[in-house]
Chain A
Amino acid sequence: MQPLIIGDKTFQSRLFLGTGKFGSGRQMEEAVLASKSELVTVALKRIDMETDTDSLLSYLQHSHINLLPNTSGARNAKEAVFAAQLAREALETNWLKLEIHPDPKYLMPDAIETLKATEELAKQGFIILPYIHADPVLCKRLEDAGTSAVMPLGSPIGTNKGLKTVDFLEIIIEQSRVPVIVDAGIGAPSHAAMAMEMGADAVLVNTAIAVAGNPKLMAEAFKEAVIAGRKAFEAKLAGTLTSAAASSPLTSFLYD
């Protein structure tokens, strides 16, 4: 299986994981390790001086794991750039999952603010992976602005509805000069496999693993689905036909 190159890093795994919604830090760590993921997202929050005991980073201190801080909570480009600078200082990485969603109900990404923030953050030397709608035109604009990848959604965040944007994802994958990571809405390993078979470079999964009955086992299932989907893409899928094409010799000898 070909490795994936984004910016200055090479990944053997094409499954990226989000760390939200897990029942405990230990459960999250087990799932991340079982997934073999090498890139996991984290969010930022204000430290609570009195009660804060969160030690998220201690669960992610494994040499193969890279952190991808996100800008979740940012409502516009200005807030996202500020969050990016905080993340770079806190986690000592210039990698960034850029997400700007001012609408709390559907968490739809704001294309205009995302493009503005990408232009600014690229100047500041960030490796930017923007979370966006499956908009092929926006993807090309982001490429021109200096993005390192694009992360189009399959369906709204946390809905587990799968690849509702499939027709647009196909166009994005066909046209993109940067890696395409399908993010959001992937609710089952079959969704991940489908994205990979289509030629997506990677998928990012969070809710489907974190809230599964057995997150560790689900992480393994996603790992295998992503590998299967990628291998199928590299092997080149057989074309589809309308009429039947026999794969066994027809039994015409019975009648001849």
Chain B
Amino acid sequence: MELLLNNQRKHFFEEEITIQQLLDIEIPEKQKGIAVAINNCVIPKSDWGSYLLNRTHQILIISATQGG
């Protein structure tokens, strides 16, 4: 399955994947202080384990950075 992740197309072998599984594959060490949005809608952490992704989803993952 192909997913659009932070504006980059990425291929995954899995046919079904949740947000949490995606994070475990892509950023296993960097899951603190992040937020995930699907199609410009923020998905609460409590839903990451059950939210199934598909190829129509635009996935945005953000974290904090230095700023004034």
Contacts and interface: CB of A to CB of B under 8 A. Distances in A.
B62 A44 contact: yes
**SS of A interface (majority):** mixed
Contact of A18 (B42, B63, B68): B68
A138 interface: no
Contacts of A85: 35, 42
Contacts of B5: 49
A21 B32 contact: no
A53 B9 CA distance: 21
A45 B63 contact: yes
B20 to A, nearest CB: 14
A91 to B, nearest CB: 6
A86 B46 CA distance: 14
B67 A90 contact: no
Contacts, number: 98
A46 B67 CA distance: 14
The residue among B44, B45, B64 with the most chain A CB atoms within 10 A of its own CB is: B64
The residue among B34, B64, B67 with the most chain A CB atoms within 10 A of its own CB is: B67
Contacts of A56: 63-66
Interface residues of B, number: 27
B40 interface: yes
A22 interface: yes
Interface residues of A, number: 35
Nearest to A67: B64
B6 A42 contact: no
Interface string A43-73: 1111111001010110000000001011010
Nearest to B60: A46
A157 interface: yes
Nearest to B34: A90
B17 interface: no
Given A82-B42, A89-B36, 6 more contacts: A18-B67, A52-B27, A56-B65, A85-B42, A91-B64, A204-B68
The 5 closest A-B pairs by CB, nearest first: A43-B67, A18-B68, A206-B68, A90-B35, A89-B35
19 contacts: A18-B67, A19-B66, A19-B68, A20-B68, A43-B64, A44-B65, A47-B62, A49-B5, A49-B26, A67-B64, A82-B40, A82-B42, A85-B42, A86-B37, A86-B62, A89-B35, A89-B42, A90-B35, A157-B68
